[in-house]
Amino acid sequence: MKTGAGLLVLLGIGAVLSSGVAAQADSHAACDRQCLVGIAGRYAAALVDHRPQSLPVAPGVKFTENLVPLKFGEQGLWKTVTGRRDFDIYAVDVGTGNVVWIGIVRENGKAVMMAARLKVVGRRITELETLVGRSALSGADKVKAPRPDFAQVVPEGERLDRRRLVAIADSNWDAMERGDGHAAPYAQDCERYDNGEQTSRGRSPAEGAPDSGGSLEDRSCFGQMNSGRFNNGNKVWPRRIWAVDQREGSGRGCVGIGAVHDRAGRDVQDRAWEDQQGGGRPRPPRALRHAQSIRHEDAVGPALTTG
């Protein structure tokens, strides 16, 4: 089965409208991997306990939730969270001082998947960017624990370089925009999840093997993209890298991603909305925020996990 590398699991978190400042390299990061994971874990605990004062926060810390600037510790999920599930995925980028935590919390009793990017300078949080997946499509209450290989250490000699990891992450969105599953190297056993709900079904074709030729019946990671079901004018822009983790994530690394989907095309949902309005009025374009956690594994082409 080790015939190449492939996109293995796609786990997505979507929320209406979101953006932010791209993570910039910081060679003077004073917080190592253990430090960054520790701060992210402390944030998750402080969020659920409603104790923002317990965190090491820099003066003027920037906090956003689904793109909206809010008061740190006083607004948004800080006020509505009521619990947490045992579900943790980390992407750690020591070089930029960024750590991404993906977890499941309860908001007013309902399970919600979320992602948080914490920028740490001098062991203090200077930025907290959160994405909360409040969506009708959610499996946050039933999704199983993350695959153990998310936390496996990649042998140093097998780690891909930073540019390669980012290029593989980008390729999933290229496939979406073009309606071409060949644009990304999906593994045969790739799985796609949106807000914890598995939305893929079946196996993607092996590298170089015959495929379904764009059939809408193909619900594999490859087939969903290759059928053009998402190719209705969608543009994934701007694309932002939250963290590139070359050490952990089964096989060859993990990348935390944030991006906006600008929907300019029309689909079945758009036409249904227009019919409800009496016709003659086109549905306005929408923007969605999408965060991904991507995992690379030897399995048929470079592996990807979206989260």
214 within some domain: yes
Closest to 294 (Cα-Cα) out of 188, 205, 190 = 190
* Last residue of one domain, picked from the residues 135, 167, 197: 135
Cis peptide before 238 (omega within 30 of 0): yes
**For position 86, which CATH number holds?**
3.10.450.50
Contacts of 173 (CB under 8 A, 6+ apart): 236, 239, 259
Give the contacts of 35 (CB within 8 A, at least 6 positions apart): 120, 123
Q: Domain limits at 77?
A: 24-135
- State the pTM of this model: 0.79
In a domain, 141, yes or no: no
Q: Which of 78, 102, 135 is the last residue of a domain?
A: 135
Residue 279 in any domain: the answer is yes
Q: Does any domain span residue 304?
A: no
My answer on whether 9 and 31 are in the same domain is no
Q: Are residues 129 and 184 in the same domain?
A: no
Choose the final residue of a domain: 110, 135, 160: 135
Q: Are residues 94 and 124 in the same domain?
A: yes
Q: Which of 29, 36, 34, 167 is nearest to 95 (CA)?
A: 29
Residues 190 and 239 in one domain: yes
Residue 305 resides in a domain: no
pLDDT tens per residue across all 307 residues of the chain: 333 345 565 666 655 333 333 444 443 447 999 999 999 999 999 999 999 999 999 999 999 998 899 999 999 999 999 999 999 988 899 999 999 999 999 999 899 999 999 999 999 999 999 989 887 778 888 888 887 767 778 888 888 888 888 888 888 888 988 999 999 988 888 888 888 888 889 999 887 788 898 998 999 999 999 998 887 777 777 778 888 888 876 445 555 555 444 454 444 445 554 566 666 555 555 555 666 665 655 332 322 333 3
Q: How many domains does the chain have?
A: 2
**257 close to 294: Cβ distance less than 8 angstroms:** yes
Contact 302, 296 (CB under 8 A): yes
Residue 212 placed within a domain: yes
